[in-house]
Copies of this chain bind each other. A is one copy, B any other.
Amino acid sequence: MIILIQCADQVGLVASVSKVMADAGLNIISMREYVTVDENRFYLRLEIAGAPSQTTGLEQRLRAVLPQNSSILMNNAQQKKIAVLVTKEYHCLGDILLRNYFNTLGASVECVIGNHDTLRPLTEKFDIPFHQVDHTNKSREAFEKELLNVLNKHTFDYIVLAKFMRILSPQFVAAYPRQIINIHHSFLPAFIGANPYRQAHERGVKLIGATAHFVTDTLDEGPIIAQQIIPVNHAHSVKDMVVLGKEVEEAVLAKALQLVLQDRVIVDNNKTVVFEN
């Protein structure tokens, strides 16, 4: 079982938490703790082993020793579920569908929703339901209402924007706090907005990158989960950069999903605490 805790810091928190585990006869396989001295915040990731019966009432026993307003996320081994939103580009979705098909994603893909129909054939090859929600000739409100209708037919823990090229309204985002993961085609905060590869080419940069982040209500903002870069040079055209960029996007989204699905990411305000291996 994985337990993620965040709360105000105080002396003795690790002792209290690990005493709760020891009293329950639970073994701590791995523990990662991080404290911000300036903001006085305490973050903890615990991986514990023991019989299911030993974890009964564990949250209450933890709350009893933690400060008020502590956030506790307890995750048993139960498979997580995701919904994937796409537009036309296949590379991120293809990678997710392959991992899902061979049970290496760490989650099950419940459905794929596209504002275009382009990726239906690929999705249906893998027997995953594909829904088109066309955005043309619609207000954003109407479009998002339809989107919500389709989403509400499924259960899921996260919405993955796998190159979904529509901007979601703050209202939509607010309905899924810290549940929407986006892959942004740029090394944020450089080249925010449209055509980052054209911008990168014009600036003559020697590296391009991609950023996976949780979506908040500000465009291309939101807590960053993972970033990666790839070297480029003068000989890379905008088109070459787009091609290379897709490789980074796919890699960085895959990494971010793995981190989130393994409960290695704690979100606090606009930042993440990521307990990597």
Do B29 and A32 touch across chains, with their CB atoms under 8 A apart?
A: no
Q: Beyond A188-B205, A273-B234, is A34–B28 a contact (Cβ under 8 Å)? A: no
Docked complex Cα distance between A114 and B225 (Å): 38
> How far does the Cβ of A115 sit from chain B's closest Cβ, in whole Å?
19
Within 8 A of B (CB), among A100-147: 101-102, 104, 122, 125-126
B35 close to A30 (CB less than 8 A): yes
CB distance from A212 to the nearest CB of B (A): 9
Whether the pair A229, B229 counts as a contact (CB closer than 8 A) is: yes
- Name the one of B16, B101, B271 contacting A204, with C-beta atoms under 8 angstroms: B271
Chain B residues with Cβ below 8 Å from A245 are none
**What is the chain B residue whose CB lies nearest that of A24?**
B11
Alpha-carbon gap, A33 to B243, bound state (A):
23
Instruction: Give bound CA distance, A206 to B276, whole Å.
Output: 12
B14, B206, B271: which contacts A18 (Cβ < 8 A)? B14
In the complex, A233 has a CB within 8 A of chain B: yes
- Roughly how many angstroms separate A273 CA and B234 CA in the complex, as a whole number? 5
Interchain CB contact (< 8 A) of A30 among B33, B95, B98: B33
Give Cα A227 to B91, complex, Å.
Answer: 22
Q: Which residue of B lies closest to A254 (CB)?
A: B247
Picked from B37, B229, B236, B243, the residue with its CB within 8 Å of the CB of A29 is B37
| CB within 8 Å for A28 and B33 given contacts A204-B223, A207-B227, A277-B233 | yes
- A161 within 8 A of partner (CB): no
0 or 1 for each of A208-231: is its CB under 8 Å from B? (1 = yes): 010000000000000111111100
Contact among B29, B225, B247 for A35, CB-based, below 8 A: B29
Contact A234 B34 (CB under 8 A): yes
Chain B residues whose CB sits within 8 angstroms of the CB of A188 once the complex forms: 190, 203, 205
B interface footprint on A3-18 (CB within 8 Å = 1, 0 otherwise): 0000000011111101
Contacts A33-B31, A98-B90 hold; do A229 and B207 have CB atoms under 8 A apart?
Answer: yes
What's the nearest-Cβ distance from chain B to residue A214, in Å?
A: 11
- Name the contact of A28 in the complex, choosing from B14, B206, B240 (C-beta under 8 A): B14
Q: What is the interface of chain A, defined by CB distance below 8 A to chain B?
A: 11-16, 18-19, 21-22, 25-35, 37, 90-91, 94-95, 98, 101-102, 104, 122, 125-126, 187-191, 203-207, 209, 223-229, 233-236, 240, 243, 247, 251, 254, 270-274, 276-277
Could you pull out 13 A-B pairs where Cβ atoms are within 8 angstroms? A11-B25, A32-B33, A90-B102, A91-B98, A98-B98, A101-B122, A188-B205, A206-B226, A207-B229, A233-B276, A234-B271, A234-B274, A251-B251
